[in-house]
Amino acid sequence: MMTEERRLGLREAIKAETGFRNLCPETDVVEFDSLEVMGVCLAVEKYCSVEISFAEVQASETYGALEDLVAERAK
Amino acid sequence: MITSLGVAIPKSDASREWLSERVNENFVRTTGISHTWRFPGPASELAAHAVRAANVENVDRIEAVVCVTQSPDRSCPNMAYDVAREFGLRKDIPLIDVNQACAGFVYGLWLSTKLRLNVLLVVVDKLRMELGEAATNHFIFSDAAAAAVVDAHDTSWATPAYFHNEPEGVEKIVVSRAGFMRLKGADTFDFVCREVPRFINRCVTEDDNVLVQHAANLSMMNIVELRSGYSQRSISAIGETGNMSMVSIPAAIALKEQEALGKWLLLVGYGAGFSAALMQVLWPSGPVSRVVRV
């Protein structure tokens, strides 16, 4: 699990790179288009120094799942 | 040593016609591409503009022509013959075409150093015009050409080149003979972000050089820089050029030459194949580049 500070930091980093246009906080559903997926990969690399692939971001059905993947990879 | 470099960039801004719906804030932020350029004439004409920009002082000193292109005007004879005829080059020199994609400039430089001659290296691509509207990814490309005079009698200004190929990527970026492009963007993104930094880190140990990589899109370039340790040492002009395929690297150098003078440049091209190629060259301490808009 990520700390709340880390979680917010990652969210801000993703927002900066993608605009966070399709994140719906209420339902936790992510619908990143292909441009946004690239932005997510860059944000995760910049903020967490974690390698995450285009395919992995696309496969994340919820934002929580994406965070969990990043947290797991960062261990 | 590269003694002169000419780059020809079309004046016609294709983004106004083709990108109006796609060029939005998100597109520009992610790809870094705000303009793309289209040349309406044949590739050989675009190449000739670049050669003229290179201001070849004595054509009789050219001992070989290496022309790298994916979009020749025809299959036979090869484009190097057009260059030789246009500029009245000697009749006793080899005229070589190389079919390579975004790693093409590095391939051409490497081949020039192997020839150990005074080489006129020409790279030209007209993917934008060749692909046409039917290709879904055509809109990210720009037409462009570059010509470099490469004195390779002495090669102390260049390191050996390194190559990386993943043949399972053969079907990922394809331009058919009919001019249709199939580009698996997600797979390409993952190949570049995963393998190119490893390739750089495996082959390069120096830390006093500057990265000039193929300008595919800004997010990809930033990830490559971060993962290979070059985020503070790179030259890029993608905002001005768009994706010029193999011309991206010489175009960035020419447009930002002040940042390159007297430095070892780590040139990294990558793309179709999947392929990657890198080589380091010592850039001259004084300006040798000229950019023309045609």
Instruction: Report the Cα A19 to chain-centroid distance in Å.
Output: 12
**Window B:7-66, CB contacts with A under 8 Å:** 25-27, 29-31
Instruction: Looking at the complex, report in whole angstroms how far the Cα of residue A71 sits from the nearest Cα belonging to chain B.
Output: 19
Q: Determine the Cα–Cα distance for residues B121 and B51; give it in Å rounded to an integer.
A: 9
Q: Which residues of A touch B222 (CB under 8 A)?
A: 42, 45-46
pLDDT of residue A75: 78
Among B13-17, B36-40, B209-213, B241-245, where is mean pLDDT lowest? B13-17
Output the CA torsion sign for B231, B237, B240, B244: negative
Rg (CA), chain B: 18
Q: Which of residues 128-187 of B touch A (CB under 8 A)?
A: 185-187
Q: Is the pLDDT of residue B131 over 70?
A: no
Report chain A residues whose CB lies below 8 A from the CB of B31: 35
| Chain A positions in Cβ-Cβ contact with residue B220 (cut-off 8 Å) | 38
Average pLDDT taken over every residue of chain B:
91
Is A37 within 8 Å of B186 when comparing Cβ atoms? yes
The alpha-carbon gap from B92 to the nearest alpha carbon of chain A, in Å, equals 50
Q: How far is B225 from chain A (nearest CA, A)?
A: 11
- Range B230-262 burial, b when 16+ CB lie within 10 A, else e: beebbbbbbebbbbbbbbbbbbbbbbbbebbee
Over residues B154-174, mean pLDDT = 94
Query: Within a 13 Å sphere around the CA of B270, how many CA atoms are in the beta-carbon half?
Result: 30
b/e B161-174 (16+ beta carbons within 10 angstroms → b): bbbbeeeebeebbe
* B194 contacts A53? CB cut-off 8 A: yes
**Nearest CB to B186 within list A19, A46, A58:** A58
Q: What pLDDT score was predicted for residue B136?
A: 54
How distant is the alpha carbon of residue B235 from its chain centre?
14
What is d(CA B136, CA B154) in angstroms, rounded to the nearest whole number? 44
DSSP B286: S
Instruction: Tell me whether residues B27 and A35 touch, CB distance under 8 A.
Output: yes
**Over residues A62-66, mean pLDDT:** 85
> Residue B63's pLDDT is what?
98
Confidence band, pLDDT 50/70/90 cuts, at residue A74: confident
Residue B95's DSSP bridge partners are B65
* pLDDT score at B110: 98
Section B16-32 average pLDDT: 69
Among B224, B218, B220, CA closest to B237: B218
CA separation for the pair B178, B30 (Å, rounded): 30
Binary contact (A37, B217; C-beta < 8 A): no
The reply to whether residue B186 touches residue A46, judged by beta carbons under 8 angstroms, is no
Per-residue model confidence (pLDDT) at position A27: 62
Residue A25: φ, ψ to 5°? -60, -30
Residue A56: the pLDDT is 92
Which of A40, A54, A57, A73 is most worth mutating to test chain B (most B CB atoms within 10 A of its CB)? Answer: A54
Q: Could you please report the per-residue DSSP string of B164-227?
A: EE-GGGTTTEEE-TTS-EEE-HHHHHHHHHHHHHHHHHHH---SSEEEEE--S-HHHHHHHHHH
**Chain B residue at shortest CA distance from A20:** B26
Residue type for position B118:
N
- Taking an 8 Å cut-off on Cβ atoms, the answer to whether B186 and A35 are in contact is no
End-to-end CA distance of chain B: 27
Contact call for residues B57 and B75 (beta carbons, < 8 A): no
Min CA distance, B221 vs chain A (Å)? Answer: 10
B220/A35 touch (CB, cutoff 8 Å), yes or no: no
Site of tokens 């060259």 = B281
Instruction: pLDDT band for B23, please (50, 70, 90 cuts).
Output: low
Q: Give the model's pLDDT for residue B22.
A: 55
ipTM (interface pTM): 0.86
Does B13 or A29 have the greater pLDDT score? B13
pTM over 0.90: yes
Average pLDDT of A25-48? 82
Residues A3, A4, A6: CA angle, nearest 5 degrees = 65
Question: Min CA distance, B270 vs chain A (Å)?
Answer: 18
